[in-house]
Structure 1
Amino acid sequence: MHHPQWQRTHGLQGMLAACSLAILLAIPTTSAAEPRTYRIDPDHFAVSFSVAHAGYADVIGQFLEASGEFVYDEARQELMSGSATIQAASVFTNHERRDEHVRNSDFLDTERFPSIEFVADTLTDIEGQRGRLSGDLTLLGETHPVTLEVTLNKAARYPFGHEQHTLGISATTTLERSQWGMDYAVDNGLVGDEVDIRLEFEAIRQPPE
């Protein structure tokens, strides 16, 4: 037969345990799925391209100024929204006269169209760390759909500097520039129509709003 004091003590412990469990269940855990905003780190964002030059070799270039952010549920691998902006006049191919030509109306027409815009739509066909990102690309005032092959390289707390949770991402696609009305030297084969695009960037998770 239990002593009355033992019953009172263990009855109180049971009540405290039940209350503690209720409190813990009411607190959201960090592992729960939650969409968060990720902002591309401008110090770790590279946009490169390559295009055939008269059949001899590819010209490789970069855009040196770009920005963007997206809303992403990392636990569920779901993209809610996203966009990126490239400053067209920041194009660089390591040749000053060629860069001036690429900026003029034969190619990017940067005075009339200073930015290149990408608006993300859906992330699909996810297998492991890979997927396909669909969206709309606006170039030279025209908007057409594009699909990028995306790889999530790493998702972890940054080991130095800002020390925030960061995603490392690679993405590639191939465009036909004539689809956006950029058809200079396509017919005579001096400049290729297909342009291979590669993006490498780190995106920093922002504090919850």
Structure 2
Amino acid sequence: MIRTLAGTAAIALAATPALAEPHRYELDPTHTTIAFMVDHIGYADTLGVFLDFEGGFTYDMDTQELTDVEITVKTASVQSFNEARDNHVRNKDFLDVEQFPVMTFTADSGTPASDTTGTVTGNLTLLGKTQPLTLDVTLKKAADYPFGHKRFTLGISAKGTVQRSAYGMTYAVDNGFVGDDVQLIIETEAMRVDG
């Protein structure tokens, strides 16, 4: 996910060359937000989040090579701050969580645009269908965490757009009540796995 880390991260790591090798990173569940926004009848975007997920990736700070990106989300954990709407989003009109309890994003490379920005193109599997998904990624920080676990941590923002009809989720698309394009937002602190 982060071939784009070269400049800033290299400066941050100049005094710690031992980190310049492939390491596994895991998403910190207490400091990660996986959210989405979708248009509602043209009036406003509705915000939702997924509360149950796990994920990680392998990244080499020296070669900027990214591999083994996988994020798994339990679809029933969706919350949009309205119980009736959440129950609707979980049913067959949208996420069909009983038949498809997870969605996954996987990728094996990234493309840098600058020292701290780039793209990651992988595959999103949702409702039993797999489609390509490109995320615009920004590295916000790369440093040892100042307290708590104190592990080397990457601060990452990622955004992309999912066309839900491509996965067969066509409810309310034709009448424009619910937008087809869904903005995906990932904000995470990814902790290096020691050993």
* TM-score, normalization by structure 1: 0.83
User: Counterpart of 2:118 in structure 1: which amino acid?
Assistant: G
Moved more, 97-106 or 76-85: 76-85
- Deviating beyond 2 angstroms after TM superposition, the runs of 4 or more aligned structure 1 residues are 29-33
What's the counterpart of residue 113 of structure 1? 100
Q: Counterparts of 2:19 and 2:130 in 1: how far apart (Å)?
A: 37
1:67 CA drift (Å): 0.7
Aligned residues: 180
Question: How large is the Cα RMSD of the aligned pairs?
Answer: 1.2
What's the counterpart of residue 39 of structure 1? 26
Candidates 163, 167, 177, aligned match of 1:190: 177
Candidates 44, 51, 55, aligned match of 1:57: 44
Q: Counterparts of 1:207 and 1:57 in 2: how far apart (Å)?
A: 44
What's the counterpart of residue 69 of structure 1? 56
Contact 2:19–2:61 under 8 Å retained in 1: no
Q: Counterparts of 1:157 and 1:120 in 2: how far apart (Å)?
A: 25
1:97 and 2:84 correspond: yes
Contact 1:166–1:204 under 8 Å retained in 2: yes
- Which 5+ residue runs of structure 2 have no aligned equivalent? 1-15
Candidates 125, 136, 150, aligned match of 1:163: 150
1:32 CA drift (Å): 6.8
What's the counterpart of residue 135 of structure 1? 122
Contact 1:121–1:136 under 8 Å retained in 2: no
User: Counterpart of 1:56 in structure 2: which amino acid?
Assistant: Y
Q: Identity over aligned residues, as a percent?
A: 52
Contact 1:45–1:66 under 8 Å retained in 2: no
Contact 1:122–1:133 under 8 Å retained in 2: yes
Contact 1:39–1:69 under 8 Å retained in 2: yes
Secondary structure class of the residue paired with 1:122: coil
Q: Counterparts of 2:61 and 2:157 in 1: how far apart (Å)?
A: 16
1:31 CA drift (Å): 4.6
Q: Counterparts of 1:32 and 1:141 in 2: how far apart (Å)?
A: 38
String of CA shifts for 1:116-175, please: whole Å, max 9, x gaps.
Answer: 101112101331100100100000000011100000111100001001111110000011
User: Counterpart of 2:42 in structure 1: which amino acid?
Assistant: G
Secondary structure class of the residue paired with 1:39: strand
What's the counterpart of residue 84 of structure 1? 71
Q: Counterparts of 1:76 and 1:167 in 2: how far apart (Å)?
A: 16
| 1:18-37 equivalent positions in 2, closer than 5 A | 30-31=17-18, 33-37=20-24
Which protein has the larger Cα radius of gyration, Structure 1 or Structure 2? 1
- Which 5+ residue runs of structure 1 have no aligned equivalent? 1-28
Secondary structure class of the residue paired with 2:113: strand
Secondary structure class of the residue paired with 1:127: coil
Secondary structure class of the residue paired with 2:17: coil
String of CA shifts for 1:90-140, please: whole Å, max 9, x gaps.
Answer: 101110000000000000000000001011121013311001001000000
